[in-house]
Structure 1
Amino acid sequence: MQPMTLFALCGSLRQTSINKATLHALQTLAPASVRIVLDEDIGLLPLFNPDIEHLSHPAVERIKRQLAEASGLIIASPEYAHGITGVLKNALDWLVSGPEFVDKPIMLINTSARAYHAQQALREVVTTMSGKLIDDACVTVPLLSKTPTADDIVQMPDVATALTSGLATFCEAIHSLR
């Protein structure tokens, strides 16, 4: 049987991003029946402009294809000035008018309990875009003020358990929606 493919977006461009490390940890923690594809090049997307939306751009085509091929979308993003990061909002703007996002199951990962403004804004954006937010799969893990690697996160029992539990709930929800 083919593994379930999930697409993941990180809202940070930082090389040592906690959110990116968390998504890499989730890739490691995922069962063999789940494949998580992390877009590492979100910063290559041009700034969204409806005037050029009809033109072909490799980074835009890649992200749309990856989302279309996935059974669900996982988003992990920091909060900047009480909001969604510009790079993540830009990526979502490129996906807003296409069919790839509509009814796509979505799991949110928050690496800081204090970053609730961005999570609320992100919930609003993805539901406005007609994504299917799976609330029970959304996870907040306490990684603020730490700079763990993916390997470090995998070794944190409480964090690893929260991530794997959220992922299992997400996959169950996707199966039930089919």
Structure 2
Amino acid sequence: MRLLAISGSGRRASTNTAMLRALSSAVQPDHQVTVYDRIGDLPIFSPDLEAKPLPRTVQDLADLIERSDGLIIASPEYVRGIPGGLKNAIDWFVSRKEIVDKPIVLMHASHRGDDMLAQLRMVLSTVSSRFSEAVFLRYGLMKMSPEEIAAFFETGKPRAELARFICRLAAHCSHCEPEADSL
């Protein structure tokens, strides 16, 4: 299973990005997690730019989404809301086909952020018919460096939780597959 893990942070030492990198190193060989941490490289969304060809950075992300079996999004909260870069990325895909039927789940690297998570859940359930609130994993990793986060996820319990999270996501992806007759 190919999974795309999107970090909603533009910060180089992001805790959410570090958590997603730890996830990518903890998966079993039959799963592959690609971490996308270039949210800040996307141009500001405009319907005028949706014509072909898309801006290269948007097309690259569209290709990654298209090739994935599911998405994991992890994001900080900025001023009690979705960071502008992540909302911008989602806006690019509202009228495109790549995200509509894609299984999407959330991870979160802070004990705070409930307002952002509520907004993100509402937005994602609007743009994807396969968003799952039930498959969710959260850690309080604020103030930890990326190296400390990597070390934290090398320990038994957190590493096992990551493995269970991936299994739950894989089951969600499998249960959401459209039946051949409905295609």
1:93-104 equivalences in 2 (<5 Å): 93-104=91-102
User: How far did residue 163 of structure 1 move?
Assistant: 2.3
1:162 aligns with 2:164: no
Within-5 A mapping of 1:35-54: 35-54=32-51
Q: How far is the alpha carbon of 1:131 from its aligned partner?
A: 4.1
With structure 1 as the length reference, what TM-score do the two structures score? Answer: 0.91
Work out whether residues 130 and 176 of structure 2, in 8 Å CA contact, stay in contact via their aligned partners in 1.
no
Equivalent residue for 2:14, pick from 3, 14, 17 = 17
Stretches of structure 1 lacking an aligned partner (at least 5 in a row): none
* Equivalence map 1:166-177=2 (5 Å): 166-177=165-176
Preserved CA contact (<8 Å) 2:19 2:150: no
Cα deviation digits, residues 123-170 of structure 1 (max 9, x gap): 011011124122332111121232242522322444333322211100
Q: TM-score, normalised by structure 2?
A: 0.89
**Which contiguous aligned blocks of 4+ residues in structure 1 show a shift greater than 6 angstroms?**
none
C-alpha change, 1:13 and 1:53, in structure 2 (3 Å) is same
Aligned partner letter, 2:176 = L
Contact 1:112 1:143 in 2 (8 A): yes
Q: How much does 1:10 deviate?
A: 0.3
Is contact 2:103–2:128 with CA below 8 Å preserved after alignment?
no
Contact kept, 8 Å, 2:8 with 2:37, in 1: the verdict is no
Q: Which moved more, 1:155-164 or 1:139-148?
A: 155-164
Match of 2:135 in 1: 137
1:117 corresponds to: 115
In structure 2, how many angstroms separate the alpha carbons of the residues matched to 1:109 and 1:117?
14
Q: In the alignment, what sits opposite 1:30?
A: 27
SS in 1 for 2:6: strand
Deviation digits for residues 34-67 of structure 1, max 9, x if unmatched? 1111123222110001122114211011111110
Q: For residues 158 and 116 of structure 1, do their structure 2 counterparts lie closer, same or farther at Cα, with a shift above 3 Å needed?
A: farther
Cα separation, partners in 2 of 1:31 and 1:87, compared to 1, 3 Å: same
- Identical residues among aligned pairs (%): 33
Letter of the structure 1 residue corresponding to residue 140 of structure 2: P
User: Counterpart in 2 of 1:152?
Assistant: 151
Distance, in Å, in 2 between the alignment partners of 1:162 and 1:136 is 15
Aligned twin of 1:80 = 78
Which 5+ residue runs of structure 2 have no aligned equivalent? 178-183
Q: Relative to structure 2, which stretch is displaced further, 100-109 or 52-61? A: 52-61
Q: Which amino acid counterpart does residue 8 of structure 1 have in structure 2?
A: A
Contact 1:68 1:100 in 2 (8 A): yes
